[in-house]
Structure formats: structure tokens, C-alpha cells
Chains A and B, each alone.
Chain A
Amino acid sequence: MAEIILKNITKEYENGFQAVKNIDLEIKDNEFVILVGPSGCGKSTTLRMIAGLEDISDGDLYLDGKRINDVSPQDRDIAMVFQNYALYPHMTVYQNIAYSLKIKKVPKDEIDRRVKEVAASLGLTDLLDRRPGQLSGGQKQRVAMGRAIIRHPKAFLMDEPLSNLDAKLRGQMRVEIADLYQRLNTTFIYVTHDQTEAMTLGTKIVVMKDGEIQQIDSPTNLFNYPVNKFVAGFIGTPTMNFFDAECLEENGELYLKTADGKIVLTPEKQQKLREGNWVGKKVTGGIRPEHVRICSEEETAFKGNVSVFELLGSNAIIYVQCGEERIVINTDETAQQEHGKELFLNVKEEKLHIFDPESERTITN
């Protein structure tokens, strides 16, 4: 149970490199916050500053209203699960889980009771006498979580906890973490570069790039209303298609002129474009692969040839080469598309995103 507030937090290293630049973030009690972004975006550094493993160069960090910039890690009452588990290799599973309580000089019988309780809840009861070297990746991950849970911390920090697991196990552990969150009912802060993890686990997602926060929002909003081209491209697989277009007017209606045709715009989007003074200017269009539709030649916005067809079972991904641009389609039409076949494409207008080509900020959301 904790409320964590980051105010103007900056992390600057001795060589002058700024890993985190002046970020503000409010994490409410019981939230599952995901810090997501490409490598080097500062997400892990942010997490480590919250844990107390990195000094904060500038700004304030509050835990339940108390400034904790200078509080040592063990006194912050925060538990962390590391990417490489960081289990003590010379201790058994039991000793690993019990270690923090042992240091706090908790009575032995209470330690024993709590360790057994935690082990049972994580399915580790039969492994208590083993050393980490004798465990599989998934089991190690569970021990690492057990070590965090036993302290009843105010918040859980997780630094890419699933990145060392294979795809199947990753899916399994994701469900376990979601389940754990429901059971523990406490604040989780989770770092990942995997947007599937971000979208499925988080109640609030913080997208970061180059040490700056790009957007803080719910998974749905992030997907539907990205604030800029980076967020739009980062969230969603396959990634969003971007294309150059020009905003033009014909008979009082605005439309986007594309390489091979035009895209009709909804009245709301037209209004936003007018308000932003975009008529007659170049813009960047964005459309998710699932919102591209195959159409007739008269209707076409993009014309191209199938370069790759991937059947994924219930849906298929089609890569269409349209001149220099490549448009990706995610469709539930799973009939095989021949290589080289000519396709005419347009978009579902209501799902179209339009960005400022210079600032890359959204115009229409």
C-alpha cells in the first residue's frame, strides 16, 4: 500500500549523460504501473532510483507523502525483483526467501511460518531445500518473487523480470504476476521493453524515450490515442504504418492526398485539421495494420504488390510494397495472397491517426 510521487526527477551521471530528464510521475496506491520504452530510455534507471539503488541527481521522490531521496534502500520498505533474479547462489530457496527477515531479526518460528506460507502460495514448497543452481528459470523467478513478497513491502518493483524466460514460460509467468497483483493488492512498478507485457499487465503505462516521459495513460488509451508518432509506433504489433500525405480541400471537405489516391476524413478529424491550420500542408498519416482494408481500385489510397504473406492461424499478416513505403495489413481473411499480387488499400477512417511531420505530435487525438 503506497503512493509514490516523482517530482522533477533527473539522473545525471558523472560524465554529464542524463539518463532521466526531469520526469514527473504520480503512482497511486494499488496501481500496476508499467515503465516501457526501448533500451536506454531511462526506465530501469527510474526504477532503480525509486528502489534507492541509484542516487537521484535532482528532484524529489515521495513515498506516502514522505521525501525519501536520502532514505537507504532497506528502509524504504520496497521490494524488488531483478532481471537476473539475483538469488544468493549459496543459499537454499528457504534461506533466500527468509534472508531479509533474518537480518531484521524476526523470531525463527515466525520466519518459518511466513516462508512456508509464501512458498505454498508460489508452489515452491517442494523446492525449499534446493539451491538456485538446481532450479529452472521459471522456478528462480518464483523464488525471487517469494523473496519480495515475504517482506510485505509497500511496493513491488520489477525490472524486466520475464526477459530471461522462453516465450511459453513468459506467458505463464505473466499470468502468475497478474494473479499475484490481484491477491496482494499493493502497488506494482514494472519495467519492460515488451509491449505485450505492458499492455496485458498494467493499469497505467508510462512510455519513455531518451530519458523523457512520452505519455502516461491506460493501455486502451495508449493504443487508441497515442500523443505522438513514437508512442503510436511503439505500442501495438505489428507496428503502426506511417505514410506521407497532404491535407487538401475539395468541395468544402478535407481529405488526405496519398501516393496513389486519397483518404476520406471524418468530420471530427476535419475540424481538428482546420483548427490546427493544416489545410494545404504536409502531414504524417498513421494507421494500425488491423485498420487497413483491401478495397477497389477507384477507392484506393495505396497501390502495391504483396511481398510477404504470413499466416498466423486465425489471422494473417500481409506486407504490401507500395513504391518506397511498405504497408502492413493484419487481417482475418486468411486466404493465401500470392507473392507479387496487386492490392488496392485504404484505411478505416475513424481509426486514422494524423501527426505533425516535424514535432511528430498528434494532430487529431
Chain B
Amino acid sequence: MAKPKRKYKRRYDNTATVLLFILPALIPLIVFWIYPILRTIWLSFTNWDYISPTYKIVGLKNYLSLLRNPRFYEALGHTVVFTAGTLFPSIILGLILALLLVKNFRGSGILKFILFSPWITPTVAISIVWSWIFKVDGGIANTILTALNMSPLKWINSSDTAMMSVIIVTVWKSLGYCMIFYLSALERVPGELYEAGALDGAYGWRQFVDITLPSISPTTFFLMIITMVNSLQAYDQIQVLTQGGPSGSTRTLLYMYYQLGFNEFNMGQATAVAVVMILLTVGLSVIQFKVSEKWVYY
């Protein structure tokens, strides 16, 4: 009888040791991530107004009213436009920059740093500067347009161009980030592949499509996931530049969540939006992972 007991004790000790080691990571994870998510899900079934100490459970009412709310679909549409509008240009332009800068030349290091610097600058600061650039009267953007004989735009002041403006700022910020990842990916493509390609007759565009792109596909995939998640979480630039306006034209789901929760004190519905966003993020990631099996080569 003594033996199994000792065995059990040893296993118990082992678990305790493991726990001890992962606790430093586990505690913040639980406090700042798992608990808030569970709490958010819970709140989405209530009518909490963010201020009162009490609330009632209302079941699926928040979700049902969301589904009936045209503002929700509008925000969903804006989210899709914003995500697609930042994702593809960031990745494509980042890759183009990386291709231009992959061969070192005089000053290329400084150029890389300049292009990367927006990523490490706080979005709020960047957005404030861009709000000056986008000024209708005397802003740099319109000065340039006028110099090019083009008619000036209203940028963040018009519902027609506000989304484009926010997208421009976001793409500008994430360009350098994509470039850095692509630079290291391009450097890792074995030179022998290009040589084998040269003997097979793969040059120029053909070489790029048949050798370079597939070789860097894991990086493209990584950047797609990261840029997508970043776009879904974009808040700072919208808050500083447009506050979701004009007339809701830059209101994404996240911004709608913020407005519902902290402007309209409807935390129940706000958290319902947050849960929808979690599902959206997970859903899109799963789809990307599934599709990636067809085009990502490790």
C-alpha cells in the first residue's frame, strides 16, 4: 500500500513544481486576459449600464437587438473595408520596399530605420501629426495635391474620404513593420534556388512568382494574421483623427463598442459587440489557417 501512495505523492510534487514555474506567466494571463474575456461574455447577457452596481440578466436580448441594429451592420462593413484596406496595401507595399532595400547600398540602413520608425512611434502621436497633414486649409496633403494640379480633398472632414484617410495613416504605420519581416525572409531564401531557376530559365517576374513568393509565404501568412488582428483592434488613430465620424463613416466594430460602452453607457450591448469581434477574429484566423495549407510552404 505504501508504494502507490509514494507514487501519487511524487506526481503531486511534480504538478506543484510545474505550477510554480508557470505561475508568473499564468497569473497575468488569468487576471488580464482570461478573466476579462469570461467577464465580457457574462456581461453581454446583462443590461449593465457601466455605472449602477446592479444589473439584470437579459439572455440573448443584446445580441438580438444588435442583429436588428443597422448601425451594427454599418460598423461591420466599415471593419471589413478598413481591415482589407490596410491588410493588402501594407503587405504589398512592405514587400515592394523590402525588395528594393534587400540589396545593401549606401544609406540603405538609415532608409530602413526611417521606414520602420512609424511602427515604434505611438499611434496617438502619429495620428496627431497626420491630422495636421490632413487639414483642409494649408495641410501638406492638400498643398501637394494643389501643386500636382489636382483638386484638394476634405480628408478626415468628409464621410467620403475619412475612411481612406484613416487607412492611409494605418498603412503608413505598418509598412515598415511588414518591410522588416520581408527583408529577413528574403535574405533567407537560399541563393541556390535562384541559381537552379536561372538554369531552368526562370528570370524576372517568373522568378519572383515561382521562387521568391512561395519561399516567403510563411512570412506573408504571419503578416496577414498580425495585420488583420491589428486592424480589427485599431482604435487610437480613429479616436484621434475622426472619432468614428463624420456621420459614422469610420465607425468600426471596436469603435462602436467604445461608443456603446463609454458614451452611451450600454455595457451589455457593448460587450455583445466585443464578443462578436472575438468570434470574428477567431473565425477569420481559422479560415486563414485552413486556406494557408494551400499556399504556405514551410
Residue A90 is within 8 A (CB to CB) of chain B in the complex: yes
Whether A80 contacts B196 in the complex (CB less than 8 A), given A74-B201, A100-B201, A103-B201, comes out as yes
Closest to A151 in B: B200
Residue A82 is within 8 A (CB to CB) of chain B in the complex: yes
Residue B199 is within 8 A (CB to CB) of chain A in the complex: yes
With A and B bound together, what is the CA distance between A87 and B203 in angstroms? 17
Closest to B199 in A: A73
A-B contact pairs, 5 of them (CB 8 A): A74-B201, A82-B195, A88-B193, A88-B196, A90-B297
Closest to B196 in A: A86
Residues of A within 8 A of B200 (CB): 74, 99-100, 103, 147
| Interface residue tally for chain A (C-beta within 8 Å) | 24
Residue B64 is within 8 A (CB to CB) of chain A in the complex: no
Q: What 4 A-B pairs have minimum CB-CB distances, sorted nearest first?
A: A90-B214, A74-B201, A86-B192, A90-B297
- Determine whether the beta carbon of A90 is less than 8 Å from that of B217: yes
Residues of B within 8 A of A72 (CB): 198
Query: Which residues of chain B have a CB within 8 Å of any CB of chain A?
Result: 190, 192-193, 195-196, 198-203, 206, 210-211, 214-215, 217, 297-298
Contact of A74 among B192, B198, B215 (CB under 8 A): B198
A292 to nearest B CB, angstroms?
A: 44
Residue A258 is within 8 A (CB to CB) of chain B in the complex: no
- Determine whether the beta carbon of B198 is less than 8 Å from that of A73: yes
B286 to nearest A CB, angstroms?
A: 23
Known: A78-B199, A82-B192, A89-B215. 11 other contacts (CB 8 A): A51-B195, A72-B198, A73-B199, A74-B200, A79-B199, A88-B193, A90-B214, A90-B297, A100-B199, A100-B201, A131-B297
Contact of A88 among B195, B214, B298 (CB under 8 A): B214
- Determine whether the beta carbon of B198 is less than 8 Å from that of A84: no
Complex interface bits, A51-75 against B, C-beta within 8 A gives 1, otherwise 0: 1110000000000000000001110
- Determine whether the beta carbon of A53 is less than 8 Å from that of B198: yes
A364 to nearest B CB, angstroms?
A: 44
Contact of B199 among A74, A84, A131, A133 (CB under 8 A): A74
- Determine whether the beta carbon of B190 is less than 8 Å from that of A86: yes
Which of A87, A89, A131 has the most B CB atoms < 10 Å from its CB?
Answer: A89
